[in-house]
Amino acid sequence: MPYRLGLTGSIGMGKSTTAGFFAAAGVPVWDADAAVHRLYGCGGAAVAPVAAVWPYAVVDGAVDRNALKTIIAADDSALARIESIVHPLVAADRVEFLANATADIVVFDIPLLFEKGTEVEMDATLLVTAPPALQHARVMARDGMTEAQFQTILARQMPDAEKRARATHIIETLSMDAARACVTALIDYIPKAQNA
SS3 of residue 26 by DSSP? coil
191 has pLDDT over 90: no
Cα dihedral: 145, 151, 157, 161 (round 10): 110
Q: List pLDDT tens digits, range 149-164.
A: 899 888 888 999 999 9
Burial-class residue 72 by CB neighbours within 10 Å (0-12, 13-18, 19+). Answer: middle
Other C-beta atoms lying within 10 Å of the C-beta of residue 196: 5
pLDDT band at 113 (very low <50, low <70, confident <90, very high): very high
Pairwise pLDDT comparison (193 vs 182), residue with the higher score: 182
Domain 1-28+105-196: give its CATH code. Answer: 3.40.50.300
Q: List pLDDT tens digits, range 74-104.
A: 998 999 999 999 999 999 999 999 999 999 9
Q: List pLDDT tens digits, range 117-150.
A: 999 999 999 999 999 999 999 999 999 899 998 9
39 has pLDDT over 90: yes
Instruction: Enter the pTM of the model.
Output: 0.90
1 has pLDDT over 90: no
Report the pLDDT value the prediction gives residue 170, as an integer from 0 to 100.
97
CB 7, CB 108: distance < 8 Å = yes
Element (H, E) at 38: helix 32-40
How do strand 29-31 and strand 105-109 relate by DSSP bridges? parallel
DSSP for 137-183, please give it: HHHHTSTT--HHHHHHHHHHSPPHHHHHHH-SEEEE-SSHHHHHHHH
CB 17, CB 122: distance < 8 Å = no
Q: Alpha carbon 95 to chain centroid distance?
A: 15
Q: Alpha carbon 7 to chain centroid distance?
A: 8
Domain ranges of the chain: 1-28+105-196, 33-100
193 has pLDDT over 90: no
Report the pLDDT value the prediction gives residue 196, as an integer from 0 to 100.
61
What value does the mean pLDDT take over residues 51-56? 95
